[in-house]
Structure 1
């Protein structure tokens, strides 16, 4: 019995260009079915990920024939910032779509250090495709979001982005979300000009009282209106745990004394993936301060650089992934076990 061949193409597809489309054409030539793994799914928009996974799906479909669309399947996969968990999620999802007995081939090209994932699936065959020169999604996003006129940007992008995708982007640029993405893109560019060190340290505070978790709603310019754990930049001469407690008090007016907060420290973990923040290389030490049940939750109020501070029941958090800033869903999952693998 002949085994069905299924090609797997992995990417974020954050502005689909002709180099990426070439991967799919190669995949369709190799296999009866193709699976597009949509990375960085479910998370909130940011400058590296301005399009949600359903929008990326629409862009990928725009340039395909009806017959190809019938052969294409989509597998959204979240960022775990943990290769073991990410590999397992991709393997499980692809196997569920392709079937246990399928002959699976991973189609890709060696772009840079971010292409290491191609070697993460030794049980699957690998087919490398030559990369089209001078085609890069990061450069295309800069053109699209830095131009005064999106139509002029799309004209400049014409040699690298197909007409159906340009038409989709032109329509999308009329939505209010385009202006929000432009503002945050500009804010990140200004941030990187100001903060030029290889990396910066921050301290974060995951505070739980019984089954409730304290979150803050950000003012911006980064992640405006997204929910986050309290935290911020480490000051000169400051310990990381002291930074987390200081930021907690400044942002929420948390009413307990710093010594009482420190006594509730349950654990800490470092989150240092190079891509965890669109602003640059930010390494954070997140601290879990766990308090038992209280007669009433401590009164909090948003202050400093946040709009609001609020207690959430932990059962609410799993549905909030797309509303959480940067990798804060992953931070919460680390301490509270929100994701069921």
Structure 2
């Protein structure tokens, strides 16, 4: 049996379930110290990522004894959907920082289960020995989330999800889920799940899985970017780029300009907006949208004026507002889908 100074355990833990805990306990038997890297750490709440990094960190800690806590480091990982090298570099740098104090070379391993395409990352660290664990009890966090945010009716008065999850998640996690179910955030996520299910069901009988095509506008002026606050699901209340679906009789650029005017009220002449387009790029990560396979073409518009044009929310946008580009990292947990990565990609921000 291998023994390590450090084992790295990467996961989203949405939520932490019994198999996660068993894997973590096994890692503690195999290593002096375990580095738990919590993925998708700074995104807003969605039915796929309902809990914040800090909430997941506390769930993990609450399941450990005091002695175990002293041997575990829990750290956040940011998503980089369009730059895997940057994501890998982040992991390497985080782990290197954790072992830097050692006098002797660290013996580092990676622990996890190669279940499907979502765990391919386990093969991207050839310098670390992989401890491949079995699929313990067949547990799947996706199914647990579907139960949790689904139909909770039950004649006994106890939510159906409570009975289903009580044997599948550690007790401290179940206690947290019960408390979270009393919050407004839980109700909003239930609404999002109902919307997403209805949206997908509408296309269930299509002869082929549908692929949707949208456009987004990255409008910048004097170090600011134009964002809108979404009025409805999905992503109700989140800030997003102005944009929407391309009509059957539109080209992508025409659709982008139409959506920009409808959602922000920006009244600059069409010719000025067109001549201010500096770049356009397709963003097509398969998991960028919960609605299904959705491609978006984003356009970079650089307005040359010294004053910010007046804007006002309209159509699908509750509000429209200019944000300083320097404020975007702090706004990440309020930004819709991959829109921060779209902005950074078109502006060349690392």
Q: Is the shorter-chain TM-score for this pair beyond 0.5, marking a shared fold?
A: yes
Deviation at 1:190, TM superposition (A): 1.2
Deviation at 1:195, TM superposition (A): 4.0
Q: 1:110 corresponds to which residue? A: 114
Aligned equivalents of 2:287, 2:326: Cα separation in 1? 28
Which of structure 1's runs of 4+ aligned residues deviate more than 6 A? Answer: none
Q: What is aligned with 1:145?
A: 149
- Paired residue for 2:221? 209
Find 1:238's aligned residue among 233, 250, 264. Answer: 250
Distance 2:168 2:29 in 1: 22
**Which residue of structure 2 lines up, in the alignment, with residue 319 of structure 1?**
330
> Per the alignment, in what secondary structure is the counterpart of residue 220 of structure 1?
coil
**Native 8 Å contact 1:6 1:102 kept in 2:** yes
Match of 2:234 in 1: 222
1:64 aligns with 2:64: yes
Local SS of the residue matching 2:35: strand
Aligned to 1:12: 12
Matched ranges for 1:1-341 at <5 A: 5-81=5-81, 82-99=83-100, 101-148=105-152, 151-196=159-204, 197-294=209-306, 296-339=307-350
Paired residues of 1:318 and 1:338 also in contact (CA < 8 A): no
Contact 1:317 1:338 in 2 (8 A): no
Q: Does the 8 Å contact 1:107/1:127 carry over to 2?
A: yes
Point out where structure 2 has 5 or more consecutive residues left out of the alignment. Answer: none
The 2-side partners of 1:194 and 1:78 are apart by 33
How many residues are matched? Answer: 336
Q: For the Cα contact (< 8 Å) 2:4–2:109, is it kept in 1?
A: no
TM-score (norm 1): 0.94
Residue 311 of structure 1: how far off its partner (Å): 1.1
Task: Show structure 1 runs of 5+ residues with no match.
Answer: none
Bigger drift between 143-152 and 243-252 goes to: 143-152
Structure 1 CA distance for aligned equivalents of residues 85 and 254 of structure 2: 32
* CA distance in structure 1 between the aligned counterparts of 2:275 and 2:168, rounded to whole angstroms: 57
SS of 1:126 mapped into structure 2: strand
